[in-house]
Structure 1
Amino acid sequence: MTTQTQVRPSSVFLVSGGAKGITAQCAIKMAQHQPSTFILLGRSEVLETEPDFAQDCFEESVLKKRIMENLLSQGEKPTPMSVQKIYNKIASSREIKNTLVAIQQTGAKAEYISVDVTNVAELQNKLAAAVARTGTITGIIHGAGNLADKLIEKKTDQDFEKVYTAKVQGLENLLSCVNPNQLEHLVLFSSVTGFYGNQGQSDYAIANEILNKSAHLIKQQYPQCHVVAINWGGWDSGMVTPELKKAFAERGIDIIPVDVGTQMLVNELHPAHHATTQVVIGSPTIRPPAPLEPELRSYRIRRRMTVEANPFLHDHTIAGSPVLPATCAMSWMINACEELYPGYTYLSCKNFKVLKGITFGENSPQEHILEIQEIAKAESDFIEFETTILSNTTTGKTHFHYKAQIKLVRKLPEAPIYEDVNLTEDNIITTTGKDFYQNGDSSLFHGPAFQKIVRVLNINPTKITIECFWQEITAREQGQFPVQWHNPYTTDLSTQALWIWLNHFHQEVCLPGQLTHSEQFRTVPCNAPFYVSCEVENKTATGVTANFFLHDTEGKIYSRILGAKAVIAPMNLHKRK
């Protein structure tokens, strides 16, 4: 049994790259949470006294003007490079001093050592003196790093060495200065670049992925230590200009606010996360899409689908047999199209039809085929596809299962507002939660992966409004149909409103048949409430047509399904034949 150690007043943290930038902000937040001792490392020097011309001057343009005047007074010709170098030295020294003051104001102790973490001899020598003052180092936060962004064919050996050694050799050198058996916390500042990759950062990706793997290895060797590699995304710091923020937003990349990110570090150090060795905090760095080629291409994708590979199917059995939800078929179509064109996002599905549902049993086909045909595209705007899922029997007969037209767009439109929101409770249907499911002949047949309707808020002869809460299932349970931009599980859950309406007014139940038009504007929440307003358009002896609007409390739409047609089905669908 391992000991789960909290950060204590007696904790002593060695923080590389810790006196400036984001790592410094993290150290300050940690000190605010629990004042302890921090040894900050960095290559910059601290000026004991600033030059006279810099005294009480804090505006960049004014200080640079004084630097130029000082150089001229000494008979030197100021150049942009020489002025910037002096300015950086002064600004860097000030930032380090401010970091030390901010930490010390919390009641914590802090000191700074100017040292290059890639120089092991100098590092060990200077740390030995510091430890004599602070006591044994109990934690390491490795935040040092360098960048040399270039396409791989333009990178030099020096570029690679600069980036790689700061991360990898730096970690090795830091660990050489500490008795690992006394180490209680090891935090490695890795990057989403190591996890997802990024153009121009092959060396940075390699170095950070080595940090990730090192975290797992060290955790195996020293299970008593709280080890975590945090794969950070981009921070909302001074390096991210408003223009860059806009560019990131257009590429779907979220920026981490400093207050949020630093608090997340504090949270990760809680003993409850002792077993979590790697965490990703940030968006993948998706590069802009390549220019579209005018040729309309076609694709065939083969997939072997089994119940074993898709455990959620156990929660979608009809008359005793696992059946692929129509929403999962749609999700396969959508995800495949998105994978063909990174940077384009699913917006709509038209004319989706269930031709012959996929049931799993002894006579199931060995594989299913997704055919994709591009039918239209416009540069930096949209791409449309005709998609079909089919299978072939052992005798050569072809079964067509699903058809749909999928549209991807470069930029999603603003989410519309559902104007007829009504969240008042009429208490006509008082059933709640799991009691809607597998609880009688006319109850919903769905298992936990496709639950749950929390409650029916109101119902009348033309409309029903429900509150939903889908608790995310594991990646293993999702199998070959993972939640991405489109969520097949919440989409299926939303259509269950029509089942309840039909059963309440007509004592009948239904299964999906086709839909005219479906659109998605926002991610449907997981592990949080959302609402479905279902408007019934038409009811016949054999079917029912309705529109579904998935929205929040204010009516802002996540997605909508228009012209959905369901067929009347037998009762007792959850029972085995």
Structure 2
Amino acid sequence: MGAIDFKGRVAIVTGAGVGLGRSHALGLAARGAKVVINDLGVSRDGTGTSSEAALSVVEEIKAMGGEAIAHGADVSDEAAVKDMVAQAMAAWGRIDICVNNAGILMDKTFSKMEMSAFRKVVDVHLIGTANVAHACWPIMREQKYGRIVLTSSASGLYGNFGQSNYGAAKAAMLGLMNVLHMEGARDNIRVNTLAPTAATRMTADLLPPEAQELLAPETITPGLLYLVSEDAPSQVILGAGAGSYAETRVYETQGITLIGDENTPEAVAAQFDQIRDDKTQEQLDGAFGQTKKYALNAAQAQGLKLDW
């Protein structure tokens, strides 16, 4: 594989004023991309607004000889996102890359959390991601080219105490990616998910100083740049942190099939270890793949021939 570059490409990076988003934007610009620096300028919990951070990144990019514009759209506001996309099109006439990075934290245990806080975090992470991808989608379809990255988290993939709102929103990236991957394939739109572990203001209270140095955002951005490159894969969850990269996959065990009077909760309980046995696990290629598997298992158990 040759050098990865983004000359002639236009990218939108949300939450690009600080932390991971800033690192991603600078990485794209350093390799030739024109970049929309989106940042509402809110604090970690989503309060307050300021354009200072986004404008600062724009100046950094211009100082390196690149092109960038700032936009302060709240990604959870569909109209503001459409305006951002319209300004990018007016400036450069295309959008090739969409990096959904913007996010907030409003951590509390589920019993103490107000549902307004749950809804706000989901609105920013999930609805915000969908808003930006949806606004870019018709442009990418017409171009027959698009690269979209969603940002998940170990909190969504594996859970983290006190983050039910954040974890739910981040887990939702898996479902969104899977469907957009299928729907975008014919138009050369590739959709992947980054699951980063980085030392940013979002994790400032959670990591010891020595870990923060190892987990700098710049150690993650190379993985992001590959996921939005011309030769990028699609439908990949890439874990990244401190220069380490790994793929997260969802598997399903072979399981068991219970027919007729055998299909009881007691039988499920008695064979639960076999249901969970991972020796024969496999990766399914879509929701219908599971349907087909179960129907074929049932047909085989009953001695039926299913022409599928």
* TM tier, smaller: 0.5 to 0.7
Look up the SS of the partner of 2:55 in the other structure. Answer: helix
- Matched residue of 2:195: which SS? strand
Q: Distance in 2 between matches of 1:309 and 1:246?
A: 36
Q: Determine if the alignment matches structure 1 residue 212 to structure 2 residue 174.
A: yes
Structure 2 counterparts to residues 153-168 of structure 1, below 5 A = 153-168=111-126
Contact 2:173 2:193 survives alignment (8 Å): yes
Q: 1:136 to 1:193 in 2, by over 3 A?
A: same
The Cα of 1:218 is off from its aligned counterpart by 0.3
Corresponding residue for 1:117? 75
Give the partner amino acid of 1:38: V
Aligned to 2:106: 148
1:281 to 240, 252, 255: 240
- 2:97 paired residue among 139, 142, 147: 139
SS in 2 for 1:222: helix
- Find the residue that maps to 1:137 and give its secondary structure: coil
8 Å CA contact 1:35, 1:107 repeated in 2 = no
Distance 1:210 1:255, change over 3 A: farther
Q: Tell me the CA shift for residue 140 of structure 1.
A: 0.8
Query: Which residue in the other structure is 1:230 paired with?
Result: 194
Distance 1:173 1:244 in 2: 30
RMSD: 3.4
- Between Structure 1 and Structure 2, whose CA radius of gyration is higher? 1
SS in structure 2 opposite 1:103? helix
Give the SS at the match of 1:153.
coil
Counterpart amino acid of residue 155 in structure 2: T
- Asked if 2 retains the 8 angstrom alpha-carbon contact of 1:194 and 1:231, the reply is no
Q: What are the within-5 Å matches in structure 2 for residues 81-120 of structure 1?
A: 93-120=51-78
Q: 1:104: Cα distance to partner?
A: 2.1
SS at structure 1 position matched to 2:220: helix
Change (3 A) 1:96 1:126: closer
Measured after TM superposition, the shift of residue 131 of structure 1 is: 1.5
- State the shift of 1:247 in Å: 9.2
Partner of 1:194: 156
Q: How many Å separate the matches in 1 of 2:81 and 2:229?
A: 29
CA 151–93 in structure 1, closer or farther in 2 if over 3 Å, else same: same
> Residues 276 and 101 of structure 1: is their aligned pair in 2 closer, same or farther, counting only changes over 3 Å?
same
Secondary structure of 1:13's partner?
A: strand
Number of aligned positions between the proteins: 240
Equivalent position of 1:256 in the other structure = 215
Partner of 1:175: 133
Deviation of 1:30 after TM superposition, in Å, equals 1.9
CA distance in 1 between partners of 2:39 and 2:67 (Å): 17
Distance 1:176 1:35 in 2: 25
Identity of aligned residues (%): 22
Q: CA deviation at 1:206?
A: 1.0
Distance 1:304 1:220 in 2: 32
Give the direction of change, closer, same or farther, for the CA distance of 1:115–1:197 in structure 2 (3 Å limit).
Answer: same
Q: Flag as ranges the 4+ runs of structure 1 deviating above 6 A.
A: none
Taking the aligned partners of 2:220 and 2:278, their CA distance within structure 1 comes to 36
Q: CA deviation at 1:237?
A: 3.3
Tell me the distance in 1 between the aligned counterparts of 2:199 and 2:235: 25
Q: Deviation per CA, 1:203-249, whole angstroms, max 9, x where unpaired?
A: 1111111112111110111112121111112x1235655x8433997
Q: Contact conserved, 1:40 with 1:110, CA < 8 A, in 2?
A: yes
Q: 1:13, 1:38 within 8 Å by CA — same for their partners in 2?
A: yes
Q: What amino acid is the match of 1:134? A: W
Q: Which residue of 2 aligns with 1:479?
A: none
1:174 to 1:9, Cα distance in 2 relative to 1, 3 A? same
Aligned equivalent of 1:560: none
SS of the residue corresponding to residue 177 of structure 1 reads helix
**Structure 2 unaligned regions, length at least 5:** 245-271, 283-308
Shift of 1:255: 5.8
The letter for the 1-side match of 2:41 is S
**1:88-131 CA-partner distances (Å, limit 9, x unpaired):** 87xx5443332112222333210001221222123323432341
Letter in 2 for 1:39: V
Q: Please, what TM-score do these two structures have when normalized by structure 1?
A: 0.38
Q: Kindly tell me: are residues 279 and 128 of structure 1, through their superposed partners in 2, closer, same or farther at Cα, counting changes over 3 Å? A: same
Q: Does 1:184 align with 2:146?
A: yes
Deviation at 1:170, TM superposition (A): 1.0
- The Cα shift of 1:29 comes to 1.5
Check conservation: 1:216, 1:277, Cα contact below 8 A: no
Q: 2:12: which partner in 1?
A: 14
Relative contact order (alpha carbons < 8 A, sep ≥ 6): 1 or 2 greater? 2
